[in-house]
Amino acid sequence: MYTIAKRFSFSASHVIGGLPAEHPCARHHGHNYEVEVVLQSAELDAVGFVRDYRELSALKTYIDDHLDHRHLNDVFGHDRTTSEFLAKWLFDWCREHWPEVAAVRVSETPRTWAEYRP
């Protein structure tokens, strides 16, 4: 099995609902998010790629258009704007475009990540 990955970044704010009032993430705050999309395939194409990294740049456009410098609660219309939620939402978009997608990871900080992998 071959595995490739590409990283993307965006900045956004959010407020996570359902937390105790004293939890810092219950306050309006922001992150410099990092997103990593992972693709896997048992076979390579004629060039020798799982998929050309350049094709994956479509995700950058999608992230820039929908998430970058936005308030995520407004984008999604709810307050469950966790990394886990974002990972699944981005995975679903990737799956529609690239059937080889195996997982999406979202980091809010350099010390944390959440992954969606079906």
Ligand X SMILES: Nc1nc2c(c(=O)[nH]1)N=C([C@H](O)[C@H](O)COP(=O)(O)OP(=O)(O)OP(=O)(O)O)CN2
* Per-residue binder mask for Zn ion (CB under 5 A), 14-43, x = binder: -----------x------------------
User: Binding-site residue total for Zn ion (CB under 5 A)?
Assistant: 1
111 C-beta neighbours (distance < 10 Å), count: 6
Going by C-alpha positions, the residue among 91, 110, 111 that lies closest to residue 101 is: 91
CB 102 within 8 A of CB 118: no
Residue 78: partners with Cβ closer than 8 Å, 6 or more residues away: 17
Percent of the chain as helix, strand, coil, to the nearest 5? 30, 30, 35
Which of the choices ligand X, Zn ion, none does residue 5 contact, using the CB cut-off of 5 to 8 A by kind?
Answer: none
Query: Is 8 or 98 the residue whose CB approaches Zn ion more closely?
Result: 8
Give me the residues that bind ligand X (CB under 6 A), please: 16, 25, 29, 82-84, 108-109, 111-112, 114
The type of residue at 59 is L
Which residue, 52 or 92, is less far from ligand X as judged by CB? 92
Neighbours of 66 (CB within 10 A): 16
CB of 16 to Zn ion, least distance (A): 6
The residue (of 60 and 88) whose beta carbon lies closer to ligand X is 88
Q: Decide whether 25 or 114 has the Cβ nearer to Zn ion.
A: 25
Residues within the interface to Zn ion (CB under 5 A): 25
